[in-house]
Structure 1
Amino acid sequence: MHEYSIVSALLEQCEQHAIDNQAKAISKVVVKIGVLSGVEPALLATAFETFKLEGRTRDAEFVIQHQGIVLQCQQCLCKTEVAERSVICPQCNSYDTRIIEGEEMLLMQLELETD
């Protein structure tokens, strides 16, 4: 289950941001997970709750924003979010598309508590 290693790296990143900003605690962690990222949101949330118990994140709320697939058509230049895992442009039906969002996992926001 690679979600555990992802959460471990995420918590290290959060701790480093807290240290850099002289925060005593982290109250909220917001991540954005793309549909095609290969990360299972429920497993990630469980892993976060399991591993957050040490350090500045022990009382942190974990929020997941889900990112759909956004395509850029190379033929008609249409930029569209598609509901299904399709790579066909809904405007011109071209297969000449590029995924520009939906494959990533990003740390979007941290709420830090300072003295």
Structure 2
Amino acid sequence: MHELAITQSVVDEVLSRAGSRPVHAVHLRVGALTAVVPSAVEFCFDLVAAGTVVEGAKLHIDLTPGRAACRSCGVSFDLPDPVLLCACGSADVSVLAGRELKIVSMEVG
């Protein structure tokens, strides 16, 4: 489960910014094409935050849908899964959104 390592990295980064101030909330943006399961991150969050100033913080995850543009026909389209294929049949596409994994903000007190 790579979500544990990802969540540990998120908490480590939050800790580095929060210092000794208690953290009340962490807001993440996770792209649908990252192969990160939000429910697994939520499960791991409380485990890795235990005993730190992040313990008890609320985790908010916004899921960004996948989006791509076809270089062959010029159409932009949604990507419901990691299969990078346009309806025209071309695999020559550029991903516009859905690969993000960002700490958007955190609330400290």
> Structure 1's 61 and 93: CA in aligned 2 closer, same or farther, altered over 3 A?
same
Instruction: Quote the offset at 1:27 in angstroms.
Output: 0.7
Q: Secondary structure at the match of 2:53?
A: helix
Q: Secondary structure at the match of 1:44?
A: helix
Q: Distance in 1 between matches of 2:23 and 2:98?
A: 27
Q: Which string of whole-angstrom CA distances, capped at 9 and with x for unpartnered residues, describes residues 34-90 of structure 1?
A: 122121111111000222122111121001111111102223544443345553445
Query: Which residue of the partner structure matches residue 105 of structure 2?
Result: 109
Quote the sequence identity (%): 20
Please say which of residues 39-48 and 94-103 is displaced more in the overlay. 94-103
- Quote the RMSD (CA, aligned, Å): 2.0
> Structure 1's 84 and 11: CA in aligned 2 closer, same or farther, altered over 3 A?
closer
Query: Which residue of the partner structure matches residue 98 of structure 1?
Result: 94
Query: Which residue of the partner structure matches residue 36 of structure 1?
Result: 33
Aligned length: 109
Unpaired segments of 5 or more residues in structure 2? none
Say which of 39, 57, 67 aligns to 2:54: 57
Please say which of residues 99-108 and 24-33 is displaced more in the overlay. 99-108
Q: Secondary structure at the match of 2:61?
A: strand
Q: Distance in 2 between matches of 1:81 and 1:57?
A: 35
Please list every run of at least 4 consecutive aligned residues from structure 1 whose deviation after the TM superposition is greater than 6 angstroms. none
Amino acid at match of 2:40: L
TM-score, normalised with respect to structure 1: 0.79
Q: Distance in 2 between matches of 1:26 and 1:102?
A: 27
Query: Which residue of the partner structure matches residue 17 of structure 1?
Result: 17
Q: Distance in 1 between matches of 2:81 and 2:4?
A: 27
> Structure 1's 30 and 73: CA in aligned 2 closer, same or farther, altered over 3 A?
same
TM-score, normalised with respect to structure 2: 0.82
Q: Secondary structure at the match of 1:56?
A: coil
